[in-house]
Amino acid sequence: MSEPTGNVILKSGRDKSVRNRHPRLFSGAIKEIIGHPKDGDVVDVTDNRGAWLARGIINQQAQIAVRLMTWNPAEGLDDALWSERIQQAISARARDPQLAGTNAQRLIFSESDGLPGLIADNYDGHIVVQISTLAASNMRGVTISALAAAAQPKVIYERADEERLKHERVSPGGGLVLGRQLEDNHPIEIHERNVHYLVNVIGGGQKTGFYLDQRTNRAAVARYAGRGGSMLNTFSYTGGFALHAAMLGAGRVVNIDSSADALDVAQQNFVLNQMLGNTHATEMEFVCADVFDDLRQRRDRGEQFDVVVLDPPKFAHNPSQVDRAARAYKDLNRLGLALVRPGGVLATFSCSGVIDALLFQKILFSASIEAQRDARIVERLTQASDHPVLLSFPESEYLKGLICRVS
C-alpha cells in the first residue's frame, strides 16, 4: 500500500454508503476508473462531481471492488497505518474489562477494526491469522511483524479462508509463519474464567479453533440449568455450554454434534475440568448424530429438559439463502421448544448475519405457534466484545441469541 494510483468515480446517487463510511464499495456503484490502478493498489474515491470521499484498496476481480479504509484525505494507506491499526486493535482488547479472565481472544475483527479481510485469534500466545481479501493478503508481512511486536506470541499460524479468497481471485497461503511447529495436533489449553478447554489450533483434518464469540453467552445460559438441572446442548462442538453448566452443578447434560472429533475433544475437556475440580457430579452424555434427526426421536419419546441450547452453524451465507435458512431455523426451534419442560428455558442462536434480530425473533414466533408453546424473551444475547460491531458496518453484527422461558 502507498500512494493512490487511480481515481474511482461513483455513479450519481451511489455515494451515500461511502459518505456513511461503509467499508465496502461494490462494483455496481462505479461509473469510471481514472488511471490504471492494479489490483491491490490504493485508490481515491470521488462522487459524480469529483468531490473526494474516501480512500481504499481496489480489486477489480472482486464484487467488492474497493475496500475503503479512510475517510480522511490526509491519511495515507501505507504499512504504518496497517500496523498502527493492528496495535490499536490489540490494545483495545487488553483494556477491555470483559476480556479479563481469559487467555483466548479475537485480537482483530476485520472491518470492525479497520482492517478489511484480516482476522486474528489468540489462544494463549498462539495466534491464528485468517486472510480473506487481496488487501489483507498483500499486507501479510506487515501483519506478521505488527502482531509479533504488539502481542509477542509464541507462534503465528495462517489459516487461509479459501472460500472467500476465491471471490477475490487470490491464491491462499497458510501454515506456520512464526515460531516453532507444535507437535502433531498438540492442543492448546485455554480458559474462560474457570472453565478450561483444549483447542486444536491447526489440526490435520480435525476440527480446529474455538467459538470465541459465544464466550459470555455460555456463562449466561448455564445459569438457567442451575444445580441439578438438565441441559440438552445441541451443536455442542467441544462442549462450551455444557462445561459451564457442569461447573454450576447441572445434573445431566446431553451433547449432540455430528462431528466425532469435536465430541472427542468435548469429552477430553470434561475430564480436564473434572481433574481441575471445576465440575460437580454432572452426568455428561455425548451423542454423535444429526441434531434434526436426534431431536425428532427425543420429541417422539417425550423427553424433556430444563434448558435446551440450539447453537447451529451458519444456515444462510448470503441474501439468496435467507428463505431456506429461515425454514431450517423454524424447524429446529419447533423441535427444540417441544423438548423444553414447561417452565424451562430455550436458548437459541443464529450466527447468520443476513438474518437480522427482528427476523430471527419472527422465526422463533412462528416456531412457537407450530409447537403450540408460549415463550417469553428473558434475555437477548449477542457476540462477545472482542467481535465489536462497527456502527457504520451493521453487517458486522451477526450473532443473535434469545433466552426464552417456555410454558
Q: Which residues bind ligand SAH (CB under 6 A)?
A: 211, 214, 218, 235-238, 240-241, 256-259, 262, 290-291, 311, 313
State the Cα–Cα distance between residues 231 and 226, nearest whole angstrom: 10
Residue nearer to ligand SAH on the CB measure, 53 or 199: 199
Residue nearer to ligand SAH on the CB measure, 142 or 399: 399
Asked if 282 contacts 312 with a C-beta cutoff of 8 angstroms, the reply is no
The backbone torsions φ and ψ at residue 221, rounded to the nearest 5 degrees and listed phi first, read -70, -40
Residue nearer to ligand SAH on the CB measure, 115 or 316: 316
Residue nearer to ligand SAH on the CB measure, 147 or 310: 310
Q: Is 263 exposed, middle or buried, given 0-12, 13-18 or 19+ CB atoms closer than 10 A?
A: buried
Catalytic (active site) residue 404: no
Residue with smallest beta-carbon separation from ligand SAH: 240
Q: Which of 29, 351, 371, 402 is catalytic?
A: 351
- Length of the chain counted residue by residue: 407
Residue nearer to ligand SAH on the CB measure, 161 or 311: 311
Sign of CA dihedral 161, 69, 111, 86: positive
Distance of closest approach, residue 308 Cβ to ligand SAH, in angstroms: 13
Distance of closest approach, residue 290 Cβ to ligand SAH, in angstroms: 4
Cell triple for 332: 429446529
Residue nearer to ligand SAH on the CB measure, 53 or 256: 256
Distance of closest approach, residue 312 Cβ to ligand SAH, in angstroms: 6
Distance of closest approach, residue 245 Cβ to ligand SAH, in angstroms: 11
Distance of closest approach, residue 287 Cβ to ligand SAH, in angstroms: 9
Distance of closest approach, residue 239 Cβ to ligand SAH, in angstroms: 7
State the Cα–Cα distance between residues 149 and 26, nearest whole angstrom: 34
Asked if 171 contacts 148 with a C-beta cutoff of 8 angstroms, the reply is no
Distance of closest approach, residue 233 Cβ to ligand SAH, in angstroms: 7
Residue nearer to ligand SAH on the CB measure, 120 or 332: 332
Catalytic residues: 351
